[in-house]
Structure 1
Amino acid sequence: GFQAIADDTSLDFSQGGDSGGSVIRDDGAALGMVSGSPGPGQPGQETSWFADLPHALDVVRENAGDYQVMLDIAEPTITKDSTAVSTTFEGTAPANSDVTIEGDIEATATADADGAFTFDAPAEVGSFDIELTAEQGFNVSDTVSATVTTTDKPKPTPTPTPTETPKPTPTPTETPEPTVPDAPGITSPENESVTTEAVTAITGTGEPGAEITLSGDAEGTTTVGDDGTWSVSTELGFGEYTVGAVQAVEGTASEARWVSFVVAPGSPSIVTPEDGASYTEGELPAVVGESPINGASVKVVLEGTADASSTLGTATVDGGTWTVDLPSDLAPGEYTVKANQTAGGVTSGSVSTTFEVVASGAGGGEQPTPEPTEPGLAPTGADTASAVAPVAGGAAVVMLAGITLLVIRRMKRA
């Protein structure tokens, strides 16, 4: 609170029994309320005590709970007091306040955020006395009176019908036929080509900006670049394919360009028999080969001077290898083994190796290795110290590996 002291005792800024009265500054600001009656101060002075407004409101909240301060809000006014029947009158009021209209017209309206509101005019022509009050929560304006009037709606002036002036019959303009673009080019894969690599894209040429559409065994769309080239990603593994491409310019499509190509597996390899090798009759190795395509079917054909060409058999690649047995009773002579593989319904080219079968005891053929007399070494006619010379160390290892392979193959036949 605060205390007010007046040196001029003739000023009655409060009266006895005025406790709770408002304290207003000379500029109209509310400061608080009277807390104590005036009383004598120092000689020639008069004093009073006041509660400041924030403190007084805190006391109200503590003792009475939530509250709302009632404010003196502006009265509504009519801004459009004359209008045609069955239209609307217009006015202003405090923003978002509810306006009540009573008297000759009973209505309610809500002012918008700018304070504008409207209410309906009667359907008859006349003058109407009304009273308006604005409410905004607990805040209520003073009630004001107004008179509004309605008039007949203006009748529309008929519009004269203009006299039509005959128009000349226009000469029909022939619509030009759209120009059909040429078929696009396909640069890869080439037509009738065979490749052992998976085709990951179809590429070609066309008009810059044209839309390319693939059909057939590959689908996709793309736009020809400014350099006149295009590419559509694909995933084409082993198989035979036919792919068409069409280009469209401004909605007009060309004829299709077609290419056919094959994605074939590579040829398998033949490890044994070795090309140019000579083997003793009855001591032949199996046909063993390699391929990176697990699951591929390998076909092996034997051609020779003693027998006509015949299919030895087929094998499935497993773990990167395949095996087909040679007949153990091949007669002496020169033979060629050919092998190809099939994957995805497509067959590779053939690979071949030529070898010779010599009669037993004729010399020149590879003979089975006798049972070794010393552990770890085969009898070769050389003593132990000179069996593996440094210069031939690598060859000795390879020879032992080859002998082991032959022994394994013969044990399988047995």
Structure 2
Amino acid sequence: MTRNIKRRGWGGATAAIALTASGLLAPTVAFAGDDPSIAPTAGADFDATAQQLLSGDDDIQAVAKDGRGNVVVYTAGDENELSGEARSFVDSKSNVVVKSIGTPIKALAATDVVGGAGYYSPDPSGAEGGFLCSVGFAGWSSQGAPAVISAGHCTVDGTANKSLLTKPANDTAAGGTTPQELAPLGTVAYSQYGGPGNSVGADGDKSSVDISVIDVTNSELDLKPEITDWTTASSNDLAASTIAVKAIGQAQVDVPASKSGRTTGLTSGTVESIEGWAEVSGRWVYGFGVVGDYNMVLGGDSGGAVFQGNTAVGVVSGGNDPDPATGTPGGNFMWVADLQAGLARTDGYTVALKIDAPALTTPADGGSVGVGGVISGTAQVGTTLKVKPSSGDSFEVTVDGSGNWSFPAPDKLGTYSFSLTSVSGYNTSTTVDASVEVKAEAPVITTPANGSTVENELTAISGTGLAGATVTLTGDVKGSAKVAEDGSWSVETDLGIGQYSVTATQARDGQTSAAATVEFTVAPSAPVITGIQNGESYSGAAVPTAISGTGLTGADITVTINDAKVGETVVKDGKWSVVLKDALAAGDYAVVATQTVDGVSSSASVSFSVTAAPAPAPSPSGTPAPGGNPGGGNGGGLANTGMGDVAPLAWGALALMLGGFGALGYRKVRRSVR
């Protein structure tokens, strides 16, 4: 977050000073001009007009002229907020253009503090001169007050406790030779160089650090979570071109690292070693080594920001300065004090971070969502999302490791306006304003389900909806019901067999939802096939000669065997039967009985098989004599019937008669079987 601690009155004064330097202001007390409807655009009259406008309204930041004969009035507020003489002037002059610039004008170069900027600490002994170092990072105290983080050795063990910013154009990185004071910075709040208490420290001791924190006492300064690249130093505005600081982390070995400082500006190298210690001018410092080109780091860069990408990893502690006596080049090795180890010694000071503004993704700004639906988006990893509704209490939402967040839409229908801000400690993003339309979604019809079939009758239609809403049914069922607190609703009905379509909507808070429609069938129950067991095998006299069963009185029954229709009938007294016209031969059969009422049908089926009857046993060989009398004549074993002897012709005729009777009876039986 950028913490703006500049006072508004200072901005107005700066605007007036800038315009005075441009020769646009002159003392006067009245608007001037020959034509009262046209504002003057040149000379003393224009100067007097500008001065009176600037002194009469705090919101007016500048008055100038364009190339089309217009007077341009720049205001920090809205044109409608102008009042008094300024309002009268704008309304009465035809050639006045008002433009809002949103915020007061300020001299950025004089008040923005960024990482890498130079600062000066006077010699605590009172002698002339002092110590030049570089700002590492803008930061916060444990109470959220603005601070600057740098190297501990820059404070001479805390004795050089006053700091002043230097003018960038005069710093060595910008080609300057004589440092010049720009503005007061602050006083040292904590400093450690080496071990605790500024002792020598020890190799292997992570509490051997090089860190200082400066409490900013100049309320005109605006600390930014950014690092200058020094390309705009000649204008004394280091904040015009920067790299954002978005995280604090450990240095990654074999990865490029950059440094920004007042002597060599923005330079880069590669982290060659990590998690080690170096003896820097007699003190042990825990950190990592960076190698690069010659003059990558020189005296005065101490305390400067060291970073990888957008992650702050350390401050410059020491390096290999060139030796002017021998002409040996240097500055190609830099020892960097580990930032996290140093901050751990400061009792709560931390680096200020630039937090990306959160984004609303679903639904889009101005889009719609159902009650309880998901409102979601993205935000910077490691932050917390603060949601402030236009009415009601603010709440916080967790941002996951992938940068996603979500929360449910409110229960109230209508426009839901809110603001989103990402927060991490004392760091905050810019605020994003958004709104969505919370709408009632179509109610859900759960019974009957769409496309379903209900048996015989339907007594109610039910479902779920928005608690407190009124559900209205149209179509083949008309009625309404209020949704209970548990989200359920039900409308009684009395639907017999048939096909139906029902539509439901719900209304609450003056809004009506979209519609939900279900189509369903109330069908008769399936008929029952009796006398045939599913999967059974039949033969002989047990082979079915009819298909029978039970059903709904008055229903039409159609029977098929192996998909071929074999008969139709009507259920009488709950029973039905279809006689088969032909006997069933050996094979497999699938019987389907379909019951139809008012054009709506349901079916039942069984499967069975028919096997051939076993052949009769053969007769014994030889044919006995008629009557069974092997001796012949009347003296055999044949009983006397009273008929006397029968002539051969009579026996033949009798045989024919018996044969004819037997044949007639067989035919009759066969017809009966069919």
Q: TM-score range by the shorter chain?
A: 0.3 to 0.5
Normalised by the length of structure 2, the TM-score is 0.26
Higher relative contact order (CA 8 A, sep 6+): 1
Normalised by the length of structure 1, the TM-score is 0.40
Q: Answer 1 or 2: which has greater helix percent.
A: 2
Q: Return the index of the structure with the highest Cα Rg.
A: 1
